[in-house]
Structure 1
Amino acid sequence: MKISVRNLEPTKAKLTITVDNEEFEPYLQEAREEIAKQINVPGFRKGHVPAKIVDQRVGFGAVAGEAINKAVPEFYSQALETKEIRPMAQPEIEVTEVPESADSDVKLKFTATVERRPQFDLPELDEMTIEVEPVEVEDADVDKRLEALRQRFGTLVGVDRPAQEGDYVNIDLDAQIDGESVDTQEGVSYEIGSGTMLDGIDEALEGLSADEETTFESTLTGGDHAGEKATVKVKVNSVKTEELPELDDDFAQEASEFDTLDELKEEIRKAAAMDAKGRQATAARDAFIAKIEEGLEIPVPKGVLEQTVEEQLKSQPNADDETKKQVEEDAEKALRDQMVLDALAEKLDVEVSQSDVFNFLASIAQQYGMDPNQFIQAILSNGQIGSAVQEVARSKGMLGGMRKVTFTSNGETLDLSDFLGSDDEADAEVAAVEEDETVAAAAAAAAVADDLAKDAE
């Protein structure tokens, strides 16, 4: 096989691949054998028709066409490996020459134009030191968590006074456009000041007592008239305020397994400290990626970027120019990070085991509330297992790279082993830098999960 490569862009290459006849012959023979199973030739048992007879009955062109369907993808893959080209998208294949007969001197020749990962050199990691901002747990953090827990045990009590911010009201709504009612809702519960309903409703409700009503102007956010201005009449049916329990030992016993409020506070402080360390580990991850990208010129494949942005904007059909620009910037950074992590995984000779991939897919299935076995089978059936393998390799490469560098905070060495694991544990499982993110969810895997969820509905 002869391979020539022409770089059209830093991120696009055109391969011209010429296959020797002796290399193509096994594919021709396999095609003949498959065709022989499907045709009836007098004097020969089905599946045992000689090659020459098959060529005569169906034509050599049909045999060659069948052989090309299998040969071209395999020779293309071999060419990528030989020339160390890392594709970022599916190639544009064009077959330019095909043998005309079994004894033809013409060779199979085709071109493959593909967007590729650009070439760049990663820095050495062993001597690298990365500074990370320190994190501290303050009394305010503990108080905030304690207050959130306290609110979970709060009760709503009716009050005979005008409503104010923070109160919970039961309301009826009637939206009208040009005097005609276009949307009505009754018995809606709403917390004043939460900002989860129409613009202007908070100001309208404050000062109203039970059985009082008022009108205000707003823009509808849903239904057939979304985006239109409407006059909204709102009536208050009841006003309630949240009554919170006293912060004392009795509350600690009711809300937790601890006997005293001081013990509960200490446990909350420990949880806050662990969360702070998790945020610091995430910051270390981001700093690590930024550090190894520092000074590198890494162009992003244009076609891949355009397709990624297009896919992300499908869920935002009314996005303005500023939003579109932000989506493009985020997509470009994500693609650049992916390419760097792919290169890092190769540099570190990362190996991905079957259990690594299945654990990853099981974690995705759990996020979607799906049966792991069913989800894994769907990934296999859709031919998307490669995306999962790639995501796991990226995660293992990132964690392996982070274990090689030194992280410091306030000039002191930062121990992230609780989040990064050790080199001995690296092959046992894919660790997580964030609790809910074993690895960044593979887009292909998530898409399959979405499709299965829709089918279930």
Structure 2
Amino acid sequence: MTVKWEKTEANVGVLEVEVTSDRFKTALDDAFKKVVKNVNVPGFRKGKVPRRIFEQRFGVEALYQDAVDLVLPEAYEQAIAETGIQPVDRPSVDLVQVESGKPFVFKATVTVKPEVQLGEYKGISVEDKAFDVTDESIENEIEQVLKGHASVEVVEDGEVQNGDTVSIDFLGKVDGEAFEGGEAENFELEIGSGTFIGGFEDQLIGMKTGEERDIEVTFPEDYHVKSLQGKAATFHVVLHDVKRKVLPELNDEFVQEVSEFDTVDEYRADLKKRLEERAKQDHDRYVEDEVVKQVTANATIDLPEVMVNHEIDHQLNSFAQQLQMQQIPFDAYLEFTGTSVDELRAQFREAAEQSVRTALVLEAITAAENIQVTDEEVTAELEKVAANSGLDLDRVRQLMSVRDPNLESFKRDLASRKTIELLVQNSKLV
């Protein structure tokens, strides 16, 4: 087999492959064995038609497509290996010569992974940022814990306060006309959650059970329903009941109930320690992100559109799965937000481009620095996964190999992490 590769554009080239006549003859023989099983010719049992009779009746050309289907994928993969190119999409194939007794020739137009021209990636300066644990942050964390163990009581006599959950009926009108989605009964709303249009929840504060009130709001200019964008609306609201969270008291008894500690002081000290560990992790992630952003910006890449579209597909699928976990059908989300799939894809484009660009730059640095992942490092990481999942190491390998044969993707992720560690080690905080 002979192979010729020629670049025609920045990330596109033509792969010309010539398969020997002997190899194509073998493919024709294999194609006949496959096709003849389903051929009916008078005077012969099914599957027993001689090759000569078959070709007289149907012509050798009847075998060409099956022969091509047998030989082309293998020849293409071999050509990829020989040339060392890295396709990022399925090729566009043109058959140049398909004839018995002659070499089989085809051309494949292939989009390949782009070349990355690295800029400065060592000695990157990052403006330091404090991730301090303050008394206020400790108190906020304690408040969240208390809220998590709060009881809910109905407010029999009193006014709505921020943080209360109310049950309301509402009917919204624009220019005196009711609009779709602007009406509900016994709707549960937490005041201060930002669920409704700006100003709506604030105007419920001070209402009492059984009270009715008209609330004036203006839909934002970028509201998801285009027909309501920038429109003034009036909502007639009926308040049915008010529920308020009652926080437990922070004392030794509460601490003993929710933790392994005996006193509030011990609980605070442990909480402070955990927040400091989290703050260090947040600081480390911040530095990593800033270094990678700068290194990526310093590189020059001509991104193939197909790679960006593949990443948009990936992000869109992930988004749809997140909606599904919230029991929101994807089509229902599009209808509710008044968004088309094309508009949603456009929203993902910038993040997708950055994701692809970053991955390519890190991969190029990994190659430039000859960063390798050892078998011992792979095993160590798998042991961590096993420990966290409660499975044994062999089972983890087996499960991961289902989607990642030979753990190649897993190894690339480890190499990428080692590359980021190198970049951070060679950066400086200012």
Change (3 A) 1:408 1:250: farther
Tell me the SS of whatever aligns to 1:141: helix
CA positional deviation for 1:55? 3.6
Contact 2:170 2:237 in 1 (8 A): yes
Deviation at 1:352, TM superposition (A): 9.7
How far residue 79 of structure 1 moved from its aligned partner, in angstroms, is 1.7
- Are 1:32 and 2:32 matched, yes or no? yes
CA contact (8 A) 1:29 1:51 kept: no
SS for the counterpart of 2:88 is coil
Task: Write out per-residue CA displacement over residues 240-297 of structure 1, whole angstroms, 9 at most, x where no aligned residue.
Answer: 4332222222221233232111111122223223322332343354345346546421
Q: What is the CA-CA distance between 1:128 and the residue it aligns to?
A: 7.1
Q: Give 1:395 deviation, angstroms.
A: 1.1
CA shift at 1:332, angstroms? 1.1
Partner residue of 1:338? 359
Tell me the residue number matched to 1:394: 412
1:9 CA displacement: 2.2
Query: Closer, same or farther in 2 for the Cα pair 1:24/1:167, shift >3 Å?
Result: same
- Separation (CA, whole Å) in 2 of partners of 1:75 and 1:386: 24
User: What corresponds to 1:165 in structure 2?
Assistant: 162
Task: Work out the CA distance in 2 between the residues paired with 1:175 and 1:113.
Answer: 58
The answer on whether the counterparts of 1:345 and 1:394 sit within 8 Å (CA) in structure 2 is no
Q: For residues 348 and 32 of structure 1, what CA distance do their matches in structure 2 show?
A: 49
Match of 1:278 in 2: 281
Q: Which residue identity lines up with residue 267 of structure 1 in the other structure?
A: D
Change (3 A) 1:60 1:229: farther
Q: Give yes or no for the alignment of 1:243 onto 2:246.
A: yes
**What is the CA-CA distance between 1:154 and the residue it aligns to?**
2.1
- Is the contact between residue 168 and residue 240 of structure 1 (CA under 8 Å) also seen in structure 2? yes
Q: Which moved more, 1:238-247 or 1:45-54?
A: 45-54
Q: Distance in 1 between matches of 2:72 and 2:109?
A: 13
The correspondence for 2:257, drawn from 247, 254, 270, is 254
Equivalent residues in 2 for 1:186-265, closer than 5 Å: 186-218=185-217, 219=219, 230-265=233-268
In 2, the alpha carbon distance for the partners of 1:49 and 1:284 equals 72
Q: CA deviation at 1:112?
A: 1.4
Q: Distance in 1 between matches of 2:404 and 2:55?
A: 37
Give the letter for the 2:139 counterpart. D
What secondary structure sits across from 1:201 in the alignment? coil
Cα distance, 1:51 vs structure 2: 4.7
Supply the distance in 2 between the matched residues of 1:161 and 1:388 (Cα, whole angstroms): 66
Change (3 A) 1:204 1:121: closer
Is 1:185 the counterpart of 2:181? The answer is no
CA contact 1:130–1:407 (8 Å) conserved in 2 = no
Q: Quote the residue 2:320 is aligned against.
A: none
Residue 159 of structure 1: CA displacement?
5.5
Q: CA deviation at 1:232?
A: 1.7
**TM-score with structure 2 length normalisation?**
0.73
Give the conservation status (yes or no) of the 8 Å contact 1:7–1:13: yes
Structure with bigger helix share is 2
SS of the residue aligned with 1:9? coil
Task: Give matches, 1:102-113, under 5 Å.
Answer: 103=101, 105=102, 107-113=103-109
**Structure 2 Cα separation of the partners of residues 352 and 31 of structure 1:** 43
The alpha-carbon distance between structure 1 residues 114 and 410, as it changes in their structure 2 partners (threshold 3 A), is: closer
Identify unmatched segments of 5+ residues in structure 1.
367-371, 413-457
CA distance in 1, matches of 2:361, 2:67: 37
Which residue is equivalent to 1:432? none
Instruction: Tell me if the contact between 2:172 and 2:183 (Cα under 8 Å) persists in the aligned partners.
Output: yes
Contact between 2:93 and 2:106, CA under 8 Å: does it hold in 1?
yes
Kept in 1: contact 2:124–2:291 (CA 8 A): no
Structure 1: distance between partners of 2:162 and 2:84: 64
Identity across the alignment (%) = 27
Which string of whole-angstrom CA distances, capped at 9 and with x for unpartnered residues, describes residues 163-195 of structure 1? 232333222222346455865423223222221
Give the deviation of 1:146 after TM superposition. 0.9
- In structure 2, how many angstroms separate the alpha carbons of the residues matched to 1:166 and 1:77? 62
Q: 2:8 touches 2:14 (CA, 8 Å); kept in 1?
A: yes
Matches within 5 A, 1:291-440: 293=296, 295-306=298-309, 308-309=311-312, 318=339, 327-343=348-364, 347-348=370-371, 385=403, 391-402=409-420, 404=422, 407=425
Greater RCO, 1 or 2 (C-alpha within 8 Å, sep 6+): 2
Over 3 Å counting, the alpha-carbon distance change for 1:71 and 1:179 in structure 2 is same
Tell me how far 1:209 sits from its aligned partner: 1.5
* Structure 2 residue aligned with 1:8: 8
Letter in 1 for 2:248: P
**Whole-Å Cα distance in 1 between the matches of residues 228 and 297 of structure 2?**
46
Residue equivalent to 2:71: 71
**Aligned-partner Cα distance in 2 for 1:145–1:92:** 57
Asked whether the 8 Å contact 1:94–1:110 carries over to 2, the reply is yes
For residues 326 and 39 of structure 1, do their structure 2 counterparts lie closer, same or farther at Cα, with a shift above 3 Å needed? closer
Q: Deviations over 1:361-401 (max 9, x none)?
A: x99xx9xxxxx99xx89x97xxxx57996643431221233
Relative distance call for 1:90 and 1:389 in structure 2 (3 A) is farther
Alpha-carbon contact 2:209-2:239 (below 8 Å) kept:
yes
SS at match of 1:333: helix
Secondary structure, aligned partner of 1:173: strand
Q: How far, CA to CA, are the matches of 2:410 and 2:8 in structure 1?
A: 31
1:299-346 C-alpha deviation (Å, 9 max, x unpaired): 100243356558868968648x99987633222111112323455666
